[in-house]
Structure 1
């Protein structure tokens, strides 16, 4: 009776019952089945200690099997097919060449550097506001240029070495008379000896007058200031005619410059165009110079009267905007002069803070002689359907400048400087890297009876302006300065520029020697080098001289290395050895340094 009860307690076997097999085990059984069909033994590890059978029925473990030390290694395959695994194995076997590895590392480094927020206002970034339509100005090129084919326009660009990028490019116009400029402006340009537009003006003026955002790249002394200052004056004139500006209103246009000296020079040019218009009966156009070192009360009085245009440095402009003494509600025209520095590391947040005071779309222009790819890509994020106008290679030197490089020991520099001053008649411009060197050279030349003046960021604004003005008017023969005088300043009749020491970045060298050889004249640049210079900057200089077909001294011929930096555009080093990248990384996040002596950030130059 007990056996019958025990039998009834056992489960009754169902002929249709199938035992549950875990997913992992089913996959291994499937792999084993595939390998068996191919005639290969199973190499799949058993589950729960249970041996899996080979094709011949033998156990893959236990009796009859080979010893464990003679068994093939256990392998487990993922979800990839055998073809994919084979391709991966081949790829690993081939490996990367050294050049491919370097290029891959540089691309990753460049990607990490350029992955920054676009140059927009905080509100535009927060609300993801994007402008798709360009600003409307009402200006159109004459009918004969509109009817000319694009192939003919391209032949004109090729003739003047103009490289243009963008959609619906405006035609290049090789005559001021065809740009529909006011007669008073044409007379002023003719009186100033400006008879024909330069290549950057030929293509840049039609683009700006038609309301397009633009990146302008051209060598020093090519007339970039006229290309962006004249359209701003005409835009202010148009708005004044439409509706008179009242007190406290404005500005309509704005130019931001990296240094006080450059801002002063741009301000004088804008005022000259405004006065030329007024001579023909046009209404008065008021322009405000907003720089550090100038009494803020007088600037406030001018703002309360209403200003049409502002030329500013970032420090004082931020101060006025933050204190609500100026608004940008009506401003629709913005130009960043020397834009590669203005949007560079350390200045990005400053420019965005200024732009955050705008309440609507604005036409944005960026001009410079050097525009590295990193800055160009970053700038394009802020522009609407931009036109890029490039005359020659960005960062290349002016071919009208004869470049001489001399190996001079540190202790012999002052004595040799006197000899170099005899090469050409005055005026002569001398650049030094440090403020102490500027003061030392200045005192030495004064003791030798040379009529010299000095300028750097630690000097008072009045002293700096007096030094620049006395040099421009010919009262002084020699100006000694740091890079505060190398960006955009226009000195007429300067035949000779002397680099007392080689700058740390090749961009500064291009800007320095660009103070001579302007407006089609020939200039001379002499540079002192010695063992104090880094090998990378000497390589940059060597390739720059070779590109300009200049004589390369033996000291530079001995330097060798790979060329082409995607960060700064230097020709003698790679991005991993870029001195500019090291400097920017060092200064990132620190707003206390002012590379231009413009005030507001502290004077370092």
Structure 2
């Protein structure tokens, strides 16, 4: 039986916040690490995605600063979290912020793809906790907007993903700029690609906690492999898998295909948004807000979202395009069955992909019997459950009026507000490329590039072109008819 946060030594100010959010029992990685992290020890935590790592480091970080009291000087934060993607940085901040507020502490996010002026203002105001991606943080350090000599606790989250994206040299320089006497926590699913070197160099006699093997998967996650006999059958199956009433994420290999599929689903009356490297920060924030708010229950994403998006209650993940390697399969799949919930994962496989997919699943240690299916198969209907009512697309102009004007508003003022808006050069590499984008101005971010090629056009049932974007807003049609299978 798991321990309560109070039993693990979490201060009352923080347990009160957790209880208001319905969190009383600790997950295994929290239960294992909190006694050591709260005591000020360096910790190496290894656990799969969705295991509760964010709260595992957020609690000791806030508790340490809260006990010490005081305020940060302008440009001298007292705590630092490094994350590989801006989506992840934003979501880490969302976990830390209510905890920090209990002690009157301020938080800020730092990442690229947006103007840095808001971030500069936040730093000048004196922020206690910075959640940052490496590239933009280094830029601000070089411009002397921020100095890390007062950092008491540093966290590296998803260090293995930062290694995959080529960020370890920047991470090393940033870590070197923090005081050696400070506490350091590193959380990672694996220790390959140089992560082990970070551990040896920067962690002082770390206590290691590993709640999962490197390539483990969630017991509450059910895997399905659906064989289809061709592209048309695949298209029909994917639309049926997207048609349920709950949240689901569909993964594609390329940005173009993700955008195209979102438009096709929208035209079919399935509210969908896309997430990939060609979207601006405002578009990403808007699309994630629509998905999290359930007005759009389908997210069509590339691997850029596999690590950075943490949304609860995703009941189904569909590998529309099987990933290139087994780690990507596990990271994608980890978007469901999070925080103790159950979930299903489907891999759609064309005849020419069967051998490659079998090899990928073996490397991922996934044992599943493939099934030959069509969109009308009984096992597909069982998996989808209730089919949601058709939802009529709203023209893009009306979408802008309903959704676009409120983006970025309603946030608290001050340092946290300023920094949450603007943020991280340390975003993932563009799909299909080995290099990271936006590092130190060496590459133009994909989000600011003009032109993504000719927009993919979907057809509605009536044959009319559907030219609106993947994040088009929807309104209920009032009709009870269902989409044809």
- Is residue 594–residue 602 contact of structure 1 (8 Å, CA) maintained in 2? no
Question: 3-state DSSP class of the match of 1:273?
Answer: helix
- The alignment status of 1:258 with 2:84, answered yes or no, reads yes
Shift of 1:598: 12
Question: 3-state DSSP class of the match of 1:177?
Answer: coil
Counterpart in 1 of 2:238? 417
Counterpart in 2 of 1:226? 55
1:360-509 maps to which residues of 2 (within 5 A)?
360-368=180-188, 370-373=189-192, 375=194, 377-382=196-201, 383-408=203-228, 409-410=230-231, 412-422=233-243, 424-509=244-329
Counterpart in 2 of 1:40? none
Shift of 1:398: 0.7
**2:233, 2:439 → 1: CA distance?**
29
Question: 3-state DSSP class of the match of 1:509?
Answer: helix
**1:205, 1:400 → 2: CA distance?**
24
- Is residue 205–residue 227 contact of structure 1 (8 Å, CA) maintained in 2? yes
Counterpart in 1 of 2:72? 245
Shift of 1:468: 0.5
In the TM superposition, what whole-angstrom CA distance separates every residue of 1:44-102 from its partner, at most 9, and x where no partner exists?
xxxxxxxxxxxxxxxxxxxxxxxxxxxxxxxxxxxxxxxxxxxxxxxxxxxxxxxxxxx
Pair member with larger Rg: 1
Judging changes above 3 Å, is the alpha-carbon distance between structure 1 residues 595 and 391 closer, same or farther for their aligned structure 2 residues?
A: farther
1:93-172 maps to which residues of 2 (within 5 A)?
none
Question: 3-state DSSP class of the match of 1:289?
Answer: strand
- The alignment status of 1:271 with 2:271, answered yes or no, reads no
1:556-575 maps to which residues of 2 (within 5 A)?
none
- Is residue 593–residue 602 contact of structure 1 (8 Å, CA) maintained in 2? no
Judging changes above 3 Å, is the alpha-carbon distance between structure 1 residues 596 and 236 closer, same or farther for their aligned structure 2 residues?
A: farther
Judging changes above 3 Å, is the alpha-carbon distance between structure 1 residues 532 and 603 closer, same or farther for their aligned structure 2 residues?
A: farther
Question: 3-state DSSP class of the match of 2:55?
Answer: helix
**1:481, 1:522 → 2: CA distance?**
21
- Is residue 216–residue 365 contact of structure 2 (8 Å, CA) maintained in 1? no
Judging changes above 3 Å, is the alpha-carbon distance between structure 1 residues 245 and 313 closer, same or farther for their aligned structure 2 residues?
A: closer
**1:598, 1:434 → 2: CA distance?**
25
Shift of 1:602: 4.8
**2:226, 2:312 → 1: CA distance?**
25
| Consecutive unaligned residues in structure 1, runs of 5 or more | 1-159, 161-172, 556-586
Judging changes above 3 Å, is the alpha-carbon distance between structure 1 residues 209 and 418 closer, same or farther for their aligned structure 2 residues?
A: same
Shift of 1:496: 0.8
Shift of 1:375: 4.6
Counterpart in 1 of 2:391? none
Counterpart in 2 of 1:67? none
**2:126, 2:107 → 1: CA distance?**
9
- Is residue 10–residue 59 contact of structure 2 (8 Å, CA) maintained in 1? no
- Is residue 155–residue 186 contact of structure 2 (8 Å, CA) maintained in 1? yes
- The answer to which structure has the higher strand fraction is 2
Counterpart in 1 of 2:166? 346
- Is residue 227–residue 370 contact of structure 2 (8 Å, CA) maintained in 1? no
Shift of 1:358: 2.7
**1:388, 1:293 → 2: CA distance?**
35
Question: 3-state DSSP class of the match of 1:176?
Answer: coil
TM-score (norm 1): 0.59
Judging changes above 3 Å, is the alpha-carbon distance between structure 1 residues 338 and 595 closer, same or farther for their aligned structure 2 residues?
A: farther
Counterpart in 2 of 1:196? 25
**1:596, 1:518 → 2: CA distance?**
31
- The size of the alignment, in residue pairs, is 387
Counterpart in 1 of 2:414? none
**2:363, 2:238 → 1: CA distance?**
25
Shift of 1:245: 2.9
- Is residue 51–residue 339 contact of structure 2 (8 Å, CA) maintained in 1? yes
- Is residue 455–residue 467 contact of structure 1 (8 Å, CA) maintained in 2? yes
Cα RMSD of the aligned pairs, angstroms, is 2.8
**1:598, 1:438 → 2: CA distance?**
28
| Consecutive unaligned residues in structure 2, runs of 5 or more | 374-428, 448-485
- The alignment status of 1:594 with 2:468, answered yes or no, reads no
**1:188, 1:440 → 2: CA distance?**
42
Shift of 1:437: 0.9
After superposing the two structures, state which structure 1 stretch, 254-263 or 358-367, moved more: 358-367
Question: 3-state DSSP class of the match of 1:204?
Answer: helix
TM-score (norm 2): 0.73
Judging changes above 3 Å, is the alpha-carbon distance between structure 1 residues 516 and 321 closer, same or farther for their aligned structure 2 residues?
A: same
Judging changes above 3 Å, is the alpha-carbon distance between structure 1 residues 420 and 320 closer, same or farther for their aligned structure 2 residues?
A: same
Counterpart in 2 of 1:176? 5
Counterpart in 1 of 2:477? none
Identify which of 303, 313, 330 aligns with 2:133. 313
**2:271, 2:52 → 1: CA distance?**
30
In the TM superposition, what whole-angstrom CA distance separates every residue of 1:269-306 from its partner, at most 9, and x where no partner exists?
1111122x1xxxx4x21111111233311111111111
Question: 3-state DSSP class of the match of 1:515?
Answer: coil
**2:363, 2:138 → 1: CA distance?**
40
**1:552, 1:289 → 2: CA distance?**
44
- Is residue 200–residue 218 contact of structure 1 (8 Å, CA) maintained in 2? yes
Shift of 1:594: 2.4
Judging changes above 3 Å, is the alpha-carbon distance between structure 1 residues 401 and 473 closer, same or farther for their aligned structure 2 residues?
A: same
After superposing the two structures, state which structure 1 stretch, 456-465 or 179-188, moved more: 179-188
